[in-house]
Amino acid sequence: MKRFIKVSVVFLYLALVQATAWAQGDSTAVEKDIRNIYKGKAYRAVSVHADIFSPFMGRIANKNINTFEFQADINLYDKLFPTVEAGLGNISVNLAGGQGYRASAPFVRLGMNYNLLNNATKEGTPRLIRSYPFLGVRYGIGVVDYAMTNVQYNSDYWQGSKTHDFAAKSTYAGWIEIVGGIRVDIYRGLTMGWSVRLKTAFHAKNKTQLWWTPGYGFTQGAQFAFNYTLGYTLRTKAERAKTATQTDRK
């Protein structure tokens, strides 16, 4: 599992570097002239995607994990992409020590993606951008319902170990994510994407009692995740006209 994640991170990093190089050109002089512009209508499109890999990612980590999520973002100037991600997750497992753990929760992540490609030519005219590499940040939140059974602890009073069941509780959990990925336009708004994310800074009121949290994963330290999404991008009439013009030229 760890080897798979490391290979995915390296592959995505190389793809981001190569995609940026292709789009920006191979001339140093040209690269210095290219710049970003923020004029005209800001809103360009809205995209909705389902993460078709997260259910498999959960099963790879533990066969008792079930998770599903989707995401939506708004395209501003072909550069900034305010993003919301939401999903559901649950687990019911008996651990090696005999303890039982159950948790379920909806979760939401809010954040922004930043297109790594310049959105203007060296003359300052807008580029037609349909596929792009990006970096982003998220803040994730969830209200977790969880319970633990057969938890062992030592007692000086009883001079031995005892077991205890923790009844179902609810607690808030939050975390931060750093995201890198690629979004690709396949055909007439049908889009897909890949991303790798680092999840860290996990915090919760009862952190020591949370073994796995929907939307974050195992709570002992930072976590890596890989996402593969499929969805649709609904562009404005003006943006669809740009795409049609570019297609006619080809």
pLDDT band at 54 (very low <50, low <70, confident <90, very high): confident
- CA end-to-end distance (rounded Å), the chain: 43
Strand 100-115 and strand 217-218: pairing? unpaired
The answer to whether the beta carbons of residues 193 and 184 sit under 8 Å apart is yes
Name the residue ranges covered by the structural domains of the chain.
Answer: 2-249
Higher pLDDT, 151 or 77: 77
Q: Given this model, what pLDDT does residue 97 score?
A: 75
**CATH architecture, domain defined by 2-249:** Beta Barrel (2.40)
pLDDT per residue over 177-225, tens digit each? Answer: 999 999 999 998 999 999 999 999 999 988 988 999 999 999 989 999 9
pTM confidence score: 0.81
Task: Classify each residue of 187-206 as buried b or exposed e, where b means 16 or more C-beta atoms within 10 Å of its C-beta.
Answer: eebebbbbbbbebeebebee
Q: Given this model, what pLDDT does residue 108 score?
A: 98
- Report DSSP letters for 96-121, one per residue: TTS-EEEEEEEEEEEEEEEE-S-SB-
Give how far Cα 140 sits from Cα of 122, 143, 177, 201, 248, Å.
38, 11, 8, 10, 43
pLDDT band at 15 (very low <50, low <70, confident <90, very high): low
pLDDT per residue over 60-117, tens digit each? Answer: 778 899 999 999 999 999 999 999 999 999 999 987 777 899 999 999 999 999 999 9
